[in-house]
Amino acid sequence: MKKVLTVLFILPFLLACKEKPYDGPKITVEKDDSGALTEVEPITMFEVAFTNKIDSIFYIGDDSCSACQKLKPQLEAWVQVYKGKIYYIPFQSITSENVQYIYDSTVGYYQWGEDSSIPATYFFMQGEVIIKGSSDNTMNFIKKYVAVQE
């Protein structure tokens, strides 16, 4: 009986912590005819998305990560077909000196270091992270909420 009461007491708190689905406007990313992910350093996230407030997508991954090995080709295929720019930060390029750029860009939404899981995809709109994608929800979000500048 105690177990049932404990579960009933805790269940509302667990459900309240569930991530809310995004239902905002589409983000419009820059056009990119290169057909490939744009590899950048972490400072670019801070400059493009946070300082310049350009709608953008940043993907952090590593070629040795199995989830990344599934997601990265899907992102590359999207770039080739739809010609939208996706910035790529290789996980091995993140150092103790430049991790602050990621932290500063995503402050209030995601604390790099507390949960530095990869793959991680950040969707920025007007200087703020609107959603952090994982290997499971990134492509669904892109298909539904990302447009490419004409």
- Tens digits of residue pLDDT in 10-34: 434 333 334 456 777 899 999 999 9
* 56: nearest Cα among 139, 137, 115, 121: 121
Helix ranges (DSSP H) in the chain:
2-16, 42-44, 66-82, 99-106, 138-145
Q: What tokens were used for 69?
A: 């090995």
3-state secondary structure of 109: coil
The pLDDT mean for the chain works out to: 82
**Per-residue model confidence (pLDDT) at position 5:** 37
Give the best-scoring range by mean pLDDT among 7-16, 25-34, 102-111, 124-133.
25-34
How many residues belong to the chain?
A: 150
Torsion, CA 79, CA 81, CA 83, CA 85, rounded to 10? -10
Ordered by where they begin, the domains of the chain are 33-144 (3.40.30.10)
User: Contact at 8 Å (CB) between 106 and 129?
Assistant: yes
User: Contact at 8 Å (CB) between 149 and 57?
Assistant: no
Mean pLDDT, rounded, for 109-123: 70
Give 40 or 116, the one with higher predicted confidence.
40
